[in-house]
Amino acid sequence: MNQPKRPGFPAWIATSAAPKTVNARAVATAPAMAPVGLGLDSAAVRMRMVQRLAASGIQSPNVLGALGRVERHLFVDSALVNQAYEDTSLPIGLQQTISKPSVVARMIELLEGAECVRSSGSLGRILEIGTGCGYQAAVLSCVAKQVYSIERLRGLHEKARNNLRALRLTNVQLLFGDGMLGYAQGGPYAGIISAAGGEVIPKAWLDQLVVGGRLVAPTVRSTGQQALLVVDKTPHGFTESVLEAVHFVPLKSGIA
Ligand code: SAH
C-alpha cells in the first residue's frame, strides 16, 4: 500500500523530535496528567506498543507516529491505566469500549489506502462514527486534515469533550447525534470510519463519501459474526471487500 506523505510529520522511528504540524504538536505537548500507575515514562511503554504494532504488520509511519503520540492512558479510568498500552479493548462506561490499539491502527491504515488519499498524498476530511472516549478521534487528528466525530450517547460525548479539551486539537469537531445519518455539513469525506457495527451500511455514509473515498466499518454478516468491511466509492459505483473478523459494540439508531 502506498503511504501518503505528510511534509513535516516525520516517521516516529526516524526522530523523536516534536512533529511540525500544529495539531500533532498539540497532542505531543499538551499538558498531561501524571501517568498514575505507569511508572515514570509512559512514552517508553507507548513506544513498546508501537513496536508491537509495527511487528504485527502496521506499516504506515503516520499511523505508527500517531499511536506513539496520543496518550491512551489519559482516555481510560484510573483503575485501568496499567492496561492502557496492552492490545486490548477497555470499558469506557455506558457499556461501551475503547477499541484495541491494533484495530485502531489497522482501520486508519485502511483509510489511508483510499484512492483519493493515494492520489493527493494526504488524508483530508474524516468522519468518525462513535466518538466514545475520544481516543481514536485524537489519533485521527494526527493523520487527517479535519476530523468530525459523532456520538449518540450524551454521557460519552461529554466524556470525549473533557478528554480532548486539554489537547486543544484544532482540527477535531465533536458532534452529539445519530451517526447513522452521517454529518452532511462536514462532507464530502475522504474517509468514514465506524467504531460500531450494524447489519447494514447506512446510505448516508455512502452518499457523504467523495469519489475516491473509502468507508471502513465493522458489519454483521449473515453468520451473525462481525467482519471489517471496506467500501470504496469509485466513478463507476462502489466496490466492497470483507476483511477479518472483528468485535465491536453495536451500531444503534437515535440518541440517548
Ligand atoms: N472510537 C471510540 C470507540 C467507542 S465504542 C474510542 O476511541 O473510544 C463505539 C461508540 O459508538 C460507542 O460510544 C457508541 O455509543 C457509539 N455509537 C453506536 N451507534 C452510534 C450511532 N448511531 N451514532 C453515533 N455513535 C454511535
Kindly state the average pLDDT of the residues 5-9.
36
DSSP 2: P
Residue 74 beta carbon below 6 angstroms from any ligand 1 atom: no
Amino acid at 42: S
Q: Determine the pLDDT at residue 32.
A: 44
Q: Identify the band that residue 5 occupies on the pLDDT scale cut at 50, 70 and 90.
A: very low
Alpha carbon distance 208, 33 (integer Å): 37
**Which residue do the cell numbers 501524571 mark?**
34
Q: Is the pLDDT of residue 233 over 50?
A: yes
Q: Is the pLDDT of residue 20 over 60?
A: no
Angle between helices 135-143 and 22-29 (to 10 degrees): 140
> Do 20 and 31 meet the contact criterion of CB atoms below 8 Å apart?
no
Degrees (nearest 5) of the Cα angle 98, 102, 103? Answer: 60
Amino acid at 148: Y
Alpha carbon distance 107, 230 (integer Å): 9
Longest dimension (CA), the chain: 54
DSSP 224: S
Q: How far is CA 27 from CA 161, 168, 173, in A?
A: 15, 8, 15
Q: Determine the pLDDT at residue 81.
A: 94
Q: Is the pLDDT of residue 243 over 80?
A: yes
Kindly state the average pLDDT of the residues 119-148.
98
- Residues 42, 99, 141, 149: which is the catalytic one? 99
The atom number, within ligand 1, closest to the CA of 99 reads 3
| Residue-wise pLDDT tens digits, 183-204 | 999 999 999 999 999 999 999 9
Residue nearest to atom 21 of ligand 1 (CA): 179
**Cβ neighbours around 103 below 10 Å, total:** 19
**Share of residues in the chain with pLDDT > 90 (%):** 84
Alpha carbon distance 227, 19 (integer Å): 34
Kindly state the average pLDDT of the residues 166-188.
98
Kindly state the average pLDDT of the residues 152-168.
97
Amino acid at 173: Q
- Write down the mean pLDDT value for the chain: 88
Could you tell me the fold of the domain covering 11-250?
Rossmann fold (3.40.50)
Count of CA atoms in the C-beta half-sphere (13 A) of 54 = 18
Q: Determine the pLDDT at residue 29.
A: 42
Q: Determine the pLDDT at residue 37.
A: 56
Residue 49 beta carbon below 6 angstroms from any ligand 1 atom: no
Residue nearest to atom 26 of ligand 1 (CA): 130
Instruction: Say whether 99 is catalytic.
Output: yes
| Residue-wise pLDDT tens digits, 52-63 | 999 999 999 999
Span of 23-32, 118-127, 202-211, 225-234 with lowest mean pLDDT:
23-32
Structural domain spans, the chain: 11-250
C-alpha gyration radius of the chain: 17
Alpha carbon distance 144, 135 (integer Å): 14
The atom number, within ligand 1, closest to the CA of 92 reads 8
Q: Determine the pLDDT at residue 41.
A: 78
The answer to whether the bond into 35 is cis (omega within 30° of 0) is: no
Instruction: At 21, list the grid cell.
Output: 504540524
Alpha carbon distance 54, 38 (integer Å): 22
pTM: 0.88
Q: Determine the pLDDT at residue 78.
A: 94
Q: Determine the pLDDT at residue 246.
A: 97
Q: Determine the pLDDT at residue 237.
A: 97
